[in-house]
Structure 1
Amino acid sequence: METTDDRVKLIYHRLVAREIRRDPALIERARKIVEELSAKPNQRSHVFEWKALLAQPSDTVRHFIVSRNQDATRLRITSPFPMLPELSVQDEQTRRRMWRKARKHGRSTTSTAPSAL
């Protein structure tokens, strides 16, 4: 079941995908963050999954980060993109708008779901 938090991360990554289309070098900057993380001892598998993903062409990265499949949803939780200053959402109004949209989407999908009678 998709949570509101998952939807916020999806909304954010849709914005990131647009920015990557404009500036594919963002992937290289994210790759550097992942490289730094992978150099630290006891890294989790998600670091290496991000490393593999960010080695792909920019279109592949863009499509994956906005995918609704389980792997994409799981990896969005540990995304390196929010660590990039130019992709960090500092504006409180923007964050609130993203959360509002995610909650609204959640209500609209649950209200239209068939009942389990």
Structure 2
Amino acid sequence: MSDVVVWSAGMVIPITAPSILDGAVAVRDGRIEHVGARGWVINTLSQRGLSFTERHCDGVLLPGLVNAHTHLQYTGMASVGAGQYRGFDDWARAFDEVYDAGGLDWAGDAAAGARLLLEGGTTAA
């Protein structure tokens, strides 16, 4: 039987139920076993004789976010996104300048962009 990982946080937002202060999510073999108050989750696992490892997260624990429209290949062009422009035409010129200069690693930039999404809580793009 696999070890259970209990992810706990000061607040758990399960989306389909009210937020839980001092909550926890128990996961075994990639499947959610229990969601609830931390004490209840740990007690329930103990009563079932399941060993577990707890990982506490500072902040809020919520399901992964979805980015429904992204251009990961442009991650290497972040300087364009950080600029300030008077309008779309100015932005487009700055974009074209970086794009036309070449030397971009599209695959590497897309992989870096995916890592940034995951670090920020986005699990699907």
The answer to whether TM tops 0.5 is no
More strand by share: 2
Q: What range is the shorter-chain TM-score in? A: under 0.3
TM-score by length of 2: 0.26
- Bigger relative CO (Cα 8 Å, ≥ 6 apart): 1
Q: Find the structure with the greater CA-based Rg.
A: 2
TM-score by length of 1: 0.27
More helix by share: 1
